[in-house]
Amino acid sequence: MKALLIPCLLVSSVALAAAGLQDEPVGYDDTPLLPGSKWRVHDKARPVPPIVRPGDGPAAPSDAIVLFDGKDLSQWTDGSKEARWKVESGYMEVNGTGQIQTREHFGDCQLHLEFATPEKVEGSSQGRGNSGLFFFGRYEVQILDSYQNRTYADGQAAALYGQTPPLVNASRGPGKWQSYDIIFRAPRFEGDKLLSPARVTVLHNGVLAQDNTEFLGATAHRAVAQYSPHEAAGPIALQDHGNPMRFRNIWIRKL
């Protein structure tokens, strides 16, 4: 009976779409309630997800905020003045003028970012291709040239710096473009009390590197991270650590 029912539903959906009635409810109103939910199995009244056009290759999805499109730094500041990193050939490059951060503030979000460490290898460990991606300007996902570059485990690429090493080292070689796709969940506070910590899932070059990992607190160097209360949204920051790192195709979706 089920085998007959599914094709019927598919045919009905096609017919409705052809007739311009694709917004008509499809489903059932006599099935069991899902545990802990007001919705029934295949509930015809349950709202359908909004339609988002996915990105084609490097393009951002239709509901994303483009933070850097390769043309200018209009979405960025150094905190008090205009961002002064070099922009050319579709990327921006760290040039010793300091950290930059987004003008707009974000809480829960999905972030896509592409970066390239310097093609010419200079230094080692933390002195090689070093930068950082900071949510709220304080929760860091490390950016580093970790290709055949030994450093401490919680300081390599895709680590929660000073806290949690990545599950794997998925780094490409120096000068190669790499990607982070990140789901960030902001911490929740009630007054001075932490209700829930910040969490992050990181895909590094398409490989899972952090799996809904908790931040212990605001990132610190040679110290244990700790929380202090802050607003529900904050800037996204990119670190100037003295290496000429390059960035391109940065976009974000509010969740």
User: 163 with 249, same domain?
Assistant: yes
Assess if residue 55 is contained within a domain: no
Res 22: pLDDT: 59
How many domains, the chain? 2
Q: Residue 131 corresponds to which tokens in the numbers above?
A: 């930068």
User: 232 with 204, same domain?
Assistant: yes
Look at the chain and count its residues.
255
Res 15: pLDDT: 45
CA–CA gap between residue 61 and residue 75 (Å, rounded):
18
Q: Which amino acid is at 255?
A: L
Structural domain boundaries, residue 106: 65-254
**pLDDT tens profile 185-237:** 999 999 999 999 999 999 999 999 999 999 999 999 989 999 999 999 999 99
User: 8 with 76, same domain?
Assistant: no
User: 155 with 239, same domain?
Assistant: yes
User: 13 with 90, same domain?
Assistant: no
User: 40 with 145, same domain?
Assistant: no
User: 21 with 135, same domain?
Assistant: no
**Maximum C-alpha span of the chain:** 68
Residue ranges, the chain, pLDDT below 50: 1-21
Q: What is the four-CA torsion angle of 189, 190, 192, 197, rounded to 10 degrees?
A: -20
Assess if residue 56 is contained within a domain: no
Res 49: pLDDT: 84
User: 35 with 140, same domain?
Assistant: no
User: 109 with 41, same domain?
Assistant: no
User: 90 with 214, same domain?
Assistant: yes
